[in-house]
Amino acid sequence: MPKQIYIIDAMAWIFRAFYSEDEIHAPDGTPTNASFGFLHFLLRFLYRDKPESVAVVFDAGPKCFRNDIYPAYKANRGETPPELLPQFEQCERIVDALGLARFKENNFEADDIIATLTTQARAAGIEVTILSGDKDLAQLVDEGTRVLDPSRSKRFTVRTVPKLFGVNPDQMVDYLAMCGDSSDNIPGIPGVGPKTASGLLQEMGSMDGIYASLDKVADLPIRGAGKLGAKLEEHRELAETCKALVTLRRDMDLNMGIQDIAWTGARRGETESLFKELGFHHSLSAVPAFAEDD
């Protein structure tokens, strides 16, 4: 087993590349700007970090089990641009050609797969670096798990999470449930913003602890504490729903695990063929290693 693994949130980097890269096309006219940007993110990472083990994780579609819990989950997001749609498959093929382990599961989100792989790795004593800027993943942080966004110099660690959110990583689920997440259309508890949520959790430890002692909320040194207990009671069911939405699954039954993600290099023939098809042939020289048995 490796001492460290990397887990890449593919969707974050694909969307970022789509909106930051100039419009380009493959020889057959298919858009490729997101794929090109994603490829060069991967190549920079492989060259810079020289990883032994890598998992690249994708979403399977726009809906998941959370929509069964709360139909409005992520309903505030617009339709995926049509020129991006074919590039998801291109990106998956890029991952395969580079010899990287690829994960995608129907009815789940990439974050759930990331959480499951992280849990497996930490149980085996392996350190985890997650490449993403998604604050939902801060709930996975511990002394051996960090979340990095190298292009934006953002990092979630056991030391930075309290500075950024006012709570510890193991309180992030309750924090997100209480103050909500507008990017995912998770409402949170009405009237409870980030400062109130962090203040409550600092004083009472957890959402369960808060609801077990609502009579004590009025005495807390929090703005509006006198009416806060009644507000929390009124929206108790909503708070539980929000907690179910933000809690990442850590126990998925995956077809592969951390024992299957060793990286030994790209597949030369597959890489050359795909790069030619997409018009990326000039990038072939940037591939840092090819598998010896390819």
Task: Give 98-109 pLDDT, tens digit per residue.
Answer: 999 999 999 999
What pLDDT is stored for residue 253 in this prediction? 95
- Tell me: do 126 and 210 sit in the same domain: no
135 vs 48: CA distance, rounded Å: 24
What pLDDT is stored for residue 241 in this prediction? 98
- Tell me: do 102 and 180 sit in the same domain: no
Residue 292 lies in a domain: no
Beta carbons of 181 and 246 less than 8 angstroms apart: yes
129 vs 168: CA distance, rounded Å: 18
What pLDDT is stored for residue 153 in this prediction? 79
What pLDDT is stored for residue 146 in this prediction? 98
What pLDDT is stored for residue 28 in this prediction? 96
- Tell me: do 10 and 98 sit in the same domain: yes
Residue 207 lies in a domain: yes
- Tell me: do 255 and 139 sit in the same domain: yes
What pLDDT is stored for residue 293 in this prediction? 61
Residue 293 lies in a domain: no
Q: Between the CA atoms of 47, 132, 93 and 65, what dihedral angle is there, to the nearest 10 degrees?
A: 160
- Tell me: do 131 and 258 sit in the same domain: yes
pLDDT at 89 over 90: yes
H/E element, 103: strand 101-103
Q: Which single residue is written with the structure tokens 């994708």?
A: 58
What pLDDT is stored for residue 166 in this prediction? 97
Residue 291 lies in a domain: no
Q: Which residue has the higher pLDDT, 97 or 154?
A: 97
**Arithmetic mean of pLDDT over the chain:** 95
- Tell me: do 120 and 22 sit in the same domain: yes
pLDDT-derived band at 61 (thresholds 50, 70, 90) equals confident
pLDDT at 292 over 80: no
178 vs 184: CA distance, rounded Å: 14
What pLDDT is stored for residue 223 in this prediction? 87
Q: What is the tally of structural domains in the chain?
A: 2
Ordered DSSP codes for 212-276: HTGGGGGGSSSTTHHHHHHHHHHTHHHHHHHHHHHPPP-----SS-GGG-B---B-HHHHHHHHH
Residue 267 lies in a domain: yes
Query: What is the total residue count of the chain?
Result: 294
pLDDT at 62 over 90: no
CATH of the domain at 281: 3.40.50.1010
Residue 56 lies in a domain: yes
pLDDT digits 0-9 by tens, 249-265: 999 999 999 999 999 99
- Tell me: do 62 and 141 sit in the same domain: yes
Residue 202 lies in a domain: yes
- Tell me: do 39 and 138 sit in the same domain: yes
Domain residues for the domain of 82 are 4-157+249-286
Q: Which residue has the higher pLDDT, 54 or 219?
A: 54
pLDDT at 294 over 60: no
Residue 76 lies in a domain: yes
